Chains A and B, each alone.
Chain A
Amino acid sequence: MSTSALTEIIERYRGKPGSLIPALQKAQAQMGYLSGETLEQISKGLGIPFSRVFGVATFYSQFYLSPRGKHTIKVCVGTACHVRGAGAALQALEEKLGVKAGNPTEDLSFQLETVACLGTCFLAPAIMIDKDYYGEQTPKTVGKILKKYIGGGADAGTPDPEE
């Protein structure tokens, strides 16, 4: 991340109580992950011991301490999805991408994650790629969806509600 962007984030949160997590969230949103250097700068900038920053960054599953794949695939393994066969869809994705959940693919094109619940139980089993939802997934359908994202396709997903 550019130093100025990080400095801006730090300035925004400096001296405010409880600002570590939002600062980490903003920094990660800027850069995609939190490098050791970023963590150390946030620690210094906010005056929070580095060990505490590291402890927080490793506690929450939202934070990534290493580079991530371009497209994030979240496989819902919530209860509804589980009973409707999310495991098989996940297994198929792991096979196809050659990584275990929680990791980026070797070429950093995908990041495979599981998520406790997407809150879309009616789609079960559901997956989410970036901001697009895909419901009723089977080992057969996931392959087709992946193809949409290989080679720069399907960038325009659901609009970001925050935009």
Chain B
Amino acid sequence: MNEINFFIDGREAEASDGMTILEAAQANGVDIPHLCHAEYLQPTGACRLCVVEVEGQRALMPSCAVKVSPDMKVSTGTERVVRARKMVLELLLSAHPKDCMTCDMAGKCLLQKYCYEYGVSDTRFKGGAIYNYPEHRDNPFYVRDYNKCILCGRCVNACAEIQGDFIIDFAHRGFATMISTPLNRNMKDSGCVFCGNCVAACPTGALRERDAAGVAREWELNKVSTTCPYCGCGCQLDLNVKDGKVVKVTSNPSAPVNGVALCSKGRFGYGFIHSPERLTVPLVREDGELKPATWKKALDFAARRLCDIQGESGADSIAGLASARCTNEENYLFQKFMRAVIGTNNVDHCARLCHASTVAGLAISFGSGAMTNTIADISQADVILITGSNTTETHPIIALQVKKAARRGAKIIVVEPRRIQLCDIAEIHLCQKSGSDVAWINGFINVIISEGLHDASFIENRTEGFEEMKAAVKKYTPEYVENITGIPADALRAAARVYATAEKAAILYSMGITQHTSGTNNVMSVANLAMLTGNIGKPGTGVNPLRGQNNVQGSCDMGALPNVFSGYQQVSNPDARKKFSAAWKAELPESSGLTATEMMRAAIKGDIKAMYIMGENPMVSDPDTGHVRKALEKLDLLIVQDIFITETAKLADVVLPAVCFAEKDGTFTNTERRVQRVRAAVAAPGDSKQDWRIIGELAMRFGYRMDYESPERIMEEIASLTPSYGGVDYERIDREAVHWPCPSKSHPGTPILHIGAFTRGKGKFAAVEFSGPDEVPDADYPMTLITGRILYHYHTGTMTRRSRPLDEHVPQAFFQINPEDARSLNIADGQFCDVTSRRGAISIAAAISDAVPEGSIFIPFHFAEAAANALTNSALDPIAKIPELKVCAARVSPKEDAQRMLKY
């Protein structure tokens, strides 16, 4: 951008061409007051507080909206300008309630700030009309008090420009103008997803977080920036702390991934931190009951029992589950503990249940199993193919990039059995039969090749195995595929053409692709499609698996997997073993350990006798929970380290109280391979302990020293042993984002993978054949059960269901069923039904919705009392050992009693 010269308040100054006067002034240290403008929104020039004098212009100019030009002479503080600003403030104040002394926004309110600065203490417009709106408390998340609204429109623009949802707008006009939902409907019925981005944008007290009411004023808050503990987006947020408690979450426009945006979980899901149900003391099972114990007693007991079992049955009779919720440092230590102290590779974590097939499949195709491009990059794409991901609910902040791209004109293709929200903005929605993904992707490839739309030079120069793959897809003509998938042949053709002819096409996928017995094949098919069209290794393209949990990427990176050390260094590789062995000063086992899913089977068989589970809840998250219970109950020793008594912890022999994200330091690696800091904001409750210290103290009891000073020291060790994290250190990531691979301190990191060459050299096309799901509907179980997440809850609900607004908004389990099916089964909306599979049965309320196709039902897996995973099938993908959580056969029968729940 060119630099230009202009004059501000009589002195010469520099600005970049294209800057607004406001920006140029700020760049030169001159603050101009503004209310309607926010740097992250389009300027509207409505409030007129930022007016300045520009030489040669008759009227005052709004500095937020007018661009600076060469030699422009700007005066920001003349008497005329100050007089205008004072009048604007006085006019606003003339209709604004003057309850600053009790207003939650005191100290943060911009109207208050500027009135103070300009000495506007009262209004001379006495006795004039004021607003007399009722305060809206129509949702659990925030309050709307439009008497305090100054109609700056930031909320409207935040909803439109950030969230892309257009829930609110200006209504009426003149003095009667107000912000309104359509027909002034309740927020709950308006389609609002309660991201609260409007609340974040509001400069006054018109929009306020409900739970923060009357709790603290701005100056009493200590803000600690950290990383969101929910999904894999890796949003940065500020924990607002008063008197040692997190009383509010706010967002920060400068946050790298999300800017000012958060979703309802990130912004309103902090209540669990101070839940009275938090574990505060260790528990040890005595006489069949878990009883409070001292740390010494609990750790001594756990160590002794582990030691005994290790001695009696060998190290491989012990298994550990690390946690996608814990930090990199904790995961690293956990796997180090299992490998160096216990001496087994039986370490895994719930990535097994979500993206094991990604890690395996993309490793085969590309040599590296992670998202190839960045989140920000998605909005650059011309076409975005989304499959197996209900992005708006599972990765809300990534969905914002998709919507942004669509508003820019990008075409969205959704391939999804359900009608997800993104279908509303999609050019094409293909509704495939659950578990038929290889077939439709092969169909795409068939069309692209037969129409000559493939990128021959990319294939020639960058890949191998094309001919074999081409031969394999030959029979997958659109008509053949239609028979398998139910996708009309012409629709498939049209979609394939849109994808193939795009300049830049990105693929986003998630567990709809991975959680199948054909998961690894599905992933390789996706990779085939991207390579076929050359959509890899450049901006706006890529194969982008959206990782589900805050640190699932990191825990994989850290080697919390049975076959690799940190940075995917194979345990079978003697050099790697030698390196780690030397650094850890321990003999290390050679053969791969058991996967999480295999551990349960081995426990039932009696091969695994002890398990150490850190921050996971397989009793709700794993398929076929009946089978999991059997396994865990069979164990001689179950150690669970968590922040709540989870369904899994209830079965433990020892429960070790750990701390949550708000109480710890460390790092998370988000889905785009960005390593970010987690910072402690409040003290741990009771006697609960940092996870890394618990592991260390346990190790000490084996005579193994793990006495790190701090997580930062652990990261230093990680960096020294893990090439892809070689350049990561706290000082650096405090300052700048780092995407791995980042081998050295001077390396800039790698936002986009596979530029120029694939990690494995050439990309590998895989010849993949379609094979159906393990279990398909039949006469006894005629419905297809799909499981997944919803926006307002997370994983097994341990955190979200203890956060008031989220729990109040969606308090109960439900299953979605198509209106046609509901009619034929005589099910009313909200009616409780028995849903049964070959593995179990649950009682759950029906939510009739045409979002699910006929013959399918959808159950979110967050609710332990109606656990979807009591029904799911634990059949595994042969390569990745990921279970087929997305498809099984089920039966629905309405319950006789007319018990209903409120509609969600």
Q: Are B171 and A54 in contact (CB under 8 A)?
A: yes
CB distance from B748 to the nearest CB of A (A): 41
CB distance from A24 to the nearest CB of B (A): 14
CB contact under 8 A between A52 and B172, given known A36-B183, A39-B183, A40-B182: no
B32 interfacial by beta-carbon distance below 8 Å: no
B181 interfacial by beta-carbon distance below 8 Å: yes
Q: Once bound together, how far apart are the Cα atoms of A51 and B166, in whole Å?
A: 6
Q: Which of B174-232 contact A (CB under 8 A)?
A: 180-183, 191
Q: Which of A86-115 contact B (CB under 8 A)?
A: none
Give the chain B neighbours of A54 by CB distance below 8 A: 169, 171, 180-183
Q: Once bound together, how far apart are the Cα atoms of A52 and B169, in whole Å?
A: 6
CB distance from B718 to the nearest CB of A (A): 47
Q: Which of A25-58 contact B (CB under 8 A)?
A: 36, 39-40, 43, 49-55, 58
CB distance from A2 to the nearest CB of B (A): 22
Q: Are B172 and A53 in contact (CB under 8 A)?
A: no
B296 interfacial by beta-carbon distance below 8 Å: no
Give the chain A neighbours of B167 by CB distance below 8 A: 49, 51
Q: Nearest B residue to A49 by beta-carbon distance?
A: B166
B852 interfacial by beta-carbon distance below 8 Å: no
Q: Nearest A residue to B159 by beta-carbon distance?
A: A51
CB distance from A144 to the nearest CB of B (A): 35
A59 interfacial by beta-carbon distance below 8 Å: yes
Give the chain B neighbours of A49 by CB distance below 8 A: 165-167, 169
CB distance from A13 to the nearest CB of B (A): 19
B168 interfacial by beta-carbon distance below 8 Å: yes
B170 interfacial by beta-carbon distance below 8 Å: yes
CB contact under 8 A between A59 and B183, given known A51-B167, A52-B166: no
CB contact under 8 A between A59 and B172, given known A51-B182, A54-B183: yes
CB contact under 8 A between A58 and B166, given known A40-B182, A51-B182: no
B126 interfacial by beta-carbon distance below 8 Å: no
B58 interfacial by beta-carbon distance below 8 Å: no
Pick from A40, A51, A52, A58: contact of B173, CB below 8 A.
A58
CB contact under 8 A between A39 and B182, given known A49-B166, A51-B167: yes
Q: Once bound together, how far apart are the Cα atoms of A147 and B182, in whole Å?
A: 40
Give the chain A neighbours of B165 by CB distance below 8 A: 49
Q: Which of B124-167 contact A (CB under 8 A)?
A: 165-167
Q: Nearest A residue to B171 by beta-carbon distance?
A: A58
Q: Are A58 and B168 in contact (CB under 8 A)?
A: no
Give the chain A neighbours of B181 by CB distance below 8 A: 51, 54
Q: Nearest A residue to B156 by beta-carbon distance?
A: A51
Q: Nearest B residue to A53 by beta-carbon distance?
A: B182
Q: Once bound together, how far apart are the Cα atoms of A54 and B172, in whole Å?
A: 9
Q: Once bound together, how far apart are the Cα atoms of A54 and B173, in whole Å?
A: 12
Give the chain B neighbours of A43 by CB distance below 8 A: 182
Q: Once bound together, how far apart are the Cα atoms of A53 and B169, in whole Å?
A: 9
Pick from B168, B173, B182, B191: contact of A59, CB below 8 A.
B173
Q: Once bound together, how far apart are the Cα atoms of A43 and B165, in whole Å?
A: 14
Q: Are B183 and A55 in contact (CB under 8 A)?
A: no
CB distance from A114 to the nearest CB of B (A): 15
CB distance from B811 to the nearest CB of A (A): 27
Q: Nearest B residue to A51 by beta-carbon distance?
A: B169
Q: Once bound together, how far apart are the Cα atoms of A51 and B165, in whole Å?
A: 10
Q: Once bound together, how far apart are the Cα atoms of A72 and B477, in whole Å?
A: 64
Q: Nearest B residue to A60 by beta-carbon distance?
A: B173
Give the chain A neighbours of B169 by CB distance below 8 A: 49, 51-52, 54-55
Q: Once bound together, how far apart are the Cα atoms of A65 and B396, in whole Å?
A: 35
Q: Nearest A residue to B180 by beta-carbon distance?
A: A54
Q: Are B168 and A51 in contact (CB under 8 A)?
A: yes
Give the chain A neighbours of B182 by CB distance below 8 A: 36, 39-40, 43, 50-51, 53-54
Interface centre among A43, A51, A54 (most CB of B within 10 A): A51
CB distance from A134 to the nearest CB of B (A): 29
Give the chain B neighbours of A50 by CB distance below 8 A: 166, 182, 191
Q: Nearest B residue to A35 by beta-carbon distance?
A: B183
Q: Once bound together, how far apart are the Cα atoms of A58 and B181, in whole Å?
A: 12
Give the chain A neighbours of B180 by CB distance below 8 A: 51, 54-55, 58
Give the chain A neighbours of B183 by CB distance below 8 A: 36, 39, 54
Q: Once bound together, how far apart are the Cα atoms of A151 and B165, in whole Å?
A: 50
Give the chain B neighbours of A58 by CB distance below 8 A: 171-173, 180
CB distance from B163 to the nearest CB of A (A): 12
Interface centre among A39, A50, A55 (most CB of B within 10 A): A55
A45-84 interface bits toward B, Cβ cutoff 8 Å, 1 = contact, 0 = none:
0000111111100110000000000000000000000000
Q: Once bound together, how far apart are the Cα atoms of A49 and B169, in whole Å?
A: 10
Q: Once bound together, how far apart are the Cα atoms of A54 and B184, in whole Å?
A: 9
Q: Once bound together, how far apart are the Cα atoms of A51 and B169, in whole Å?
A: 5
Q: Once bound together, how far apart are the Cα atoms of A58 and B191, in whole Å?
A: 20
CB distance from A62 to the nearest CB of B (A): 12
CB distance from A109 to the nearest CB of B (A): 27
Give the chain B neighbours of A53 by CB distance below 8 A: 182
Give the chain A neighbours of B191 by CB distance below 8 A: 50
Q: Once bound together, how far apart are the Cα atoms of A36 and B180, in whole Å?
A: 14
Q: Once bound together, how far apart are the Cα atoms of A40 and B172, in whole Å?
A: 17
Interface centre among B165, B167, B182, B191 (most CB of A within 10 A): B182
Q: Once bound together, how far apart are the Cα atoms of A33 and B182, in whole Å?
A: 16
Q: Once bound together, how far apart are the Cα atoms of A43 and B183, in whole Å?
A: 12
Q: Once bound together, how far apart are the Cα atoms of A51 and B163, in whole Å?
A: 14
Q: Nearest B residue to A37 by beta-carbon distance?
A: B183
Q: Nearest B residue to A57 by beta-carbon distance?
A: B171
CB distance from A69 to the nearest CB of B (A): 21
Q: Which of B434-456 contact A (CB under 8 A)?
A: none
Q: What would be 30 A-B contacts, judged by CB atoms less than 8 Å apart?
A: A36-B182, A36-B183, A39-B182, A39-B183, A40-B182, A43-B182, A49-B165, A49-B167, A49-B169, A50-B191, A51-B166, A51-B167, A51-B168, A51-B169, A51-B180, A51-B181, A52-B166, A52-B169, A54-B171, A54-B180, A54-B183, A55-B170, A55-B171, A55-B180, A58-B171, A58-B172, A58-B173, A59-B170, A59-B171, A59-B172
A-B pairs with lowest CB-CB distance, top 3: A49-B166, A55-B169, A51-B169
> Hey, which bits of chain B sit against chain A, CB under 8 A?
165-173, 180-183, 191
Q: A43-B182, A51-B166 are in contact. List 6 more A-B contacts (CB 8 A).
A: A39-B182, A49-B169, A50-B166, A51-B181, A54-B182, A55-B171
